[in-house]
Amino acid sequence: MGKFLACVVSVLLAVAVVVVSSSEQAAASSSVPVRRYDSIFSFGDSYADAGNGPVVFRRYSISNPVTRPPYGSTFFGRATGRNCDGRLAIDFVAESLGLPLVPPFLAQNGSFPGGANFAVAGATALDAGFFHHGEPPGASKFPLNDSLGVQLQWFESLKPSLCRTTQDCNVFFGRSLFFVGAFGVNDYLLYYLNGKSVQQVRSLVPDVVATIAMAVERLIKHGATSLVVPGVLPVGCAPPVILASADPAAGDPAGYDPRTVCVKAINELASHHNTLLQEAVHGVRAKHPGVKIVYADFFGPVMAMVESPAKFGFEGDVLTLCCGGPGRFNYNRTVFCGDPGAITCKNPSARLFWDGVHLTEAAYRHIAGGWLSSINSPVRL
């Protein structure tokens, strides 16, 4: 009987050891994050450009201030071609997903197994020819030939080096995250700042949104199964737009929000764009139920920072640029960030706007946090 009990106890102890060991292994394995994506491909404008802009600008013999200090000073310690003091939202997303920063396609020679960034500062959704049609000789070079359609062509030229067969591409791009935008700000500002009325600018919105939706469809045909489509930010709060509309200090009734000083008509235009874009995203989702398409809110987070700056660690004069020339909001049309005579704030992390319509690294960190929540959440149709 004693031997029998000893055997039973031994078996029970052995089972217990196995159970505990298995539990510990399971706990250990569950603590190791499983990487969902192997690469990121990004299309966009200056809110996502990681270094393509200077390359494109050089082709047109246009100087670009982002190649000099104090750009990049907060994180990189040098100018990287980003329109920022440090990292952009796309950079924070990549870091959070355990991926390296997405390299700029035009500024890096070699292969791109971890993805590529095709975004260019000043890029439009609509083709550049639309804006240049009927222009007189000597007109502005902007927009340059780097629209969403051109960026898609760059992606398609890269594709054969990434995968060969349809099956290989489906596997490769099925493990990739695609960012399509934000697009639209340059389309609208080019029209608006060239003397078009807000109503004329508003007429572009359906075409801009349709172009973005078609790009999403095109990427899905290439094998994309996870896409992020950001809306536009409240560009009516950007100091250059406020001052181009009129002088808010003069009490112009043209429509300044009395609480924020933002141009109401421009922000309403941005909201209209975002509403149509969300409807378009919903429509593409319905056609491709196996594809995850996330609408990323750009407007809401920036508006929250403008309305409650202290909540995000920003100073009270939230519209004042960190880097710019002498003038209202530290904005000067002839003295840009990095120019002789320009002013740079001591603490960029306490500012929302960096150099005009562009944001600081601190702002992008908050925005990326919201985007990551959407990326990591189930799609709600």
Q: Return the H-helix or E-strand segment holding 40.
A: strand 39-43
Catalytic residue among 39, 46, 147, 176: 46
pLDDT for residue 137: 78
Strand partners, 229: 295
From the number of C-beta atoms within 10 Å of its C-beta (0-12, 13-18, 19+), residue 80 rates as buried
Contacts of 349 (CB under 8 A, 6+ apart): 74, 313, 360, 361, 362
SS3 133: coil
User: Which pLDDT belongs to residue 82?
Assistant: 98
**Is 366 strand, coil or helix?**
helix
What is the predicted pLDDT for the residue at 140? 87
DSSP letters along 175-227, please?
TEEEEE---SHHHHHHHHTTT--HHHHHTTHHHHHHHHHHHHHHHHHTT--EE
- The model's pLDDT over 322-340, given as tens digits with 9 standing for 90+, comes to 999 999 999 999 999 999 9
- pTM for the model stands at 0.88
**pLDDT confidence of 34, banded at 50, 70, 90?**
low
Q: Measured between alpha carbons, how far is 353 from 139 in angstroms, rounded to an integer?
A: 29
Round to whole Å and give the CA distance between 250 and 123: 33
Q: Which residue has the higher pLDDT, 134 or 363?
A: 363
Q: What is the pLDDT of residues 118-149, one digit of tens each?
A: 999 999 999 999 999 888 877 889 999 999 99
Calpha distance 245→239 (Å, rounded)? 10
Nearest to 48 by CA among 110, 115, 109, 112: 115
Strand, coil or helix: what is 313? Answer: coil
Distance CA 188, CA 202 (A): 8
Q: Is residue 254 a contact partner of residue 235, using CB atoms and an 8 Å limit?
A: no
290-303: average pLDDT: 97
Annotated catalytic residue 222 = no
pLDDT band per the 50, 70, 90 thresholds, residue 179: very high
The predicted pLDDT at position 260 comes to 94
| pLDDT > 70: percent of the chain | 87
Q: Which residue has the tokens 């319905």?
A: 286
Residue 247 annotated as catalytic = no
**DSSP one-letter string for 226-249:** EEEEE----GGGSHHHHHHH--GG
Q: Given the residues 91, 226, 355, 366, select the one marked as catalytic.
A: 355
Above 50 in pLDDT, residue 19? no
Rounded (10°) CA dihedral 18, 24, 30, 35 = -90
Query: What tokens does 326 get?
Result: 């002498």
Amino acid symbol at 344: T
Query: Has 46 been annotated as catalytic?
Result: yes
Structure tokens at 150: 């051109």
Question: Token pair of 244, please?
Answer: 């181009």
pLDDT at 9: 37
Confidence of residue 111 (pLDDT cuts 50, 70, 90): confident
Task: Reply yes or no on whether the pLDDT at 294 is more than 90.
Answer: yes
For residue 15, pLDDT over 50 is answered with no
Catalytic residue, chosen from 222, 273, 358, 366, is 358
